[in-house]
Amino acid sequence: MRVLRRGDAGPDVAEIRSILAGMDLLPPVTGTDDYGTFDVAVEHAVRAFQQRRGLMTDGIVGPATFQALKGASYHLGSRPLSYMIASPVHGDDVFTLQERLTELGFDAGRPDGYFGPQTERALKTFQRDMRLTPDGMCGPATIRELHRLSSPRARGGRPVFLREQEQVRQAGPRLRGKRIVIDPGHGGDDLGVVAGGLREADIAWDLARRLEGRMKATGMEALISRGPNHSPTELERARFANDAGADLFLSLHSDKNSSPRAQGVASFHFGNGNGTTSTVGELLAGFIQREVAARTGMLDCRTHYKSWDIFTRTRCPAVRVEIGYLTNPDDARKLGDPAFRDIVAEGILIAVKRLYLLGEGDQPTGTFTFADVLAHELAKAE
């Protein structure tokens, strides 16, 4: 699809306006409306939708926003649902199905709105238990059973994310044996942000190597998602983590802004605006945010939920860190210093250690050191 922004017109804009009106983000169309024009009202409605769904709030309808808008136009029962390998079915109806199955005790995996193999397995088990044809197709008979069983039940608790927390607890406080995928953003011909003589892809690659070395020193299995001259898509990066059976996924980036005053560090985790968030991802993002901000003195831009593909398509908890703005002179100066990048790498490692410690032997933010981590690992090995 073409990218749509203010000033564009045509039937695809009319479709977007219709979806936004159906969500009460635009007033209903009247006979006098220019329904095929992307005007200021549409841009504001798109921004409101993007903010609600954890997307980049730019008022532009690109592929991610268009997919989310199309997905929001479906409700459970408006179309048959089944697993498609080449192009997974996506939408709010799939999200509702995943939530219903999980509430009923069937593990449909993370409620991300994508009909994948785990959702299909949960659906077939549900159908078998309900004495329906276990074909993995969510049609009228299956929906009737879901409504019949779900309506009187109290909801809540997010069981899939409670399972995430339990997996961290059972993994124990030691880092040895944990498998972490480090994902340096961009790469190859995609240089990312280029400013002040620095390139985001180079900064991310150098940080990834420094973090990899520290993680391996603790006995962790650290894997980097790309080579220095390769730029995988977000789906390829997610597939790499899934195929590796990663315990955590850490994506490293830097940012830019039209204002040179924009600065600081921010961390992101999975969340879709429907109250669903990755508990472990949110916890790790908070640890990384506090450690890096405390150790570097960078402005704390806090943690935020997003529904980016890198979060929805990875099966393990994932965090993306935006470390500084290369368009800010102070941030750029810091990021250009190898010693500073060492500090950032240590802060991220300490944050991962805090995640697995779950409060055991904790220390104030910014005071736990790499030497402390190694000492803790040796003590636990005895």
For residue 178, pLDDT over 90 is answered with yes
Enclosing H/E stretch for 223: strand 221-224
Question: Mean pLDDT over residues 123-145, rounded?
Answer: 96
Identical fold for domains 81-152 and 174-380, yes or no, is no
Q: Domain 8-73, what architecture?
A: Orthogonal Bundle (1.10)
- Which pLDDT value is given to residue 272? 80
* Encoded amino acid at 133, one letter: T
Given a cut of 60, is residue 154 above it in pLDDT?
Answer: no
- Does residue 179 surpass a pLDDT of 60? yes
Which of 272 and 145 is assigned the larger pLDDT? 145
Does residue 223 have a pLDDT over 80?
yes
Using CA atoms, how far apart are residues 287 and 267, in angstroms rounded to an integer? 10
309-334: average pLDDT = 95
237 φ/ψ sector (left φ>0, alpha ψ -120 to 50, else beta):
alpha
50-100 pLDDT, tens per residue?
999 989 899 999 999 999 999 999 999 999 999 987 788 999 999 999 989
Residue boundaries of the structural domains of the chain:
8-73, 81-152, 174-380
- Specify the range with the lowest mean pLDDT, choosing from 135-144, 180-189, 320-329, 373-382: 373-382
Helices (H), 245-305: 279-296
- Copy the structure tokens of residue 310: 């890198």
pLDDT tens readout for residues 189-213? 999 999 989 999 999 999 999 999 9
**Tokens standing for residue 75:** 């409700």
Question: In this prediction, what percent of the chain has a pLDDT beyond 90?
Answer: 74
Q: What is the pLDDT of residues 330-375, one digit of tens each?
A: 999 999 999 999 999 999 999 999 999 976 766 788 888 989 999 9
pLDDT score, position 319: 98
What average pLDDT score do residues 21-27 get? 92
Tokens of residue 329, six digits: 């002179």
What's the pLDDT band for 160 if we cut at 50, 70, 90?
low
pLDDT, tens digit, for every residue of 241-300? 999 999 999 999 999 999 999 999 999 999 887 777 888 999 999 999 999 999 999 999
d(CA 253, CA 235): 17
Per-residue pLDDT at 364: 80
Mean pLDDT of 167-191: 93
Q: Does residue 277 or residue 239 have the better pLDDT?
A: 239
pLDDT range class, residue 161, cuts 50, 70, 90: low
- From the candidate CATH numbers 3.40.50.300, 1.10.760.10, 3.40.630.40, 3.40.190.150, the one assigned to the domain spanning 174-380: 3.40.630.40
pLDDT at 17: 93
DSSP, residue by residue, 92-159? HHHHHHHHHHHHTT----S-SSB--HHHHHHHHHHHHHTTS--SS-B-HHHHHHHHHHHTTS---S-H
As a CATH number, domain 81-152 is 1.10.101.10
Q: What DSSP string runs through 54-87? A: T---SS-B-HHHHHHHHHHT--TTSS-B---SSS
Least confident of 82-86, 157-161, 193-197, 313-317: 157-161
HEC-encoded secondary structure of 262-275: CCCEEEEEEECCCC
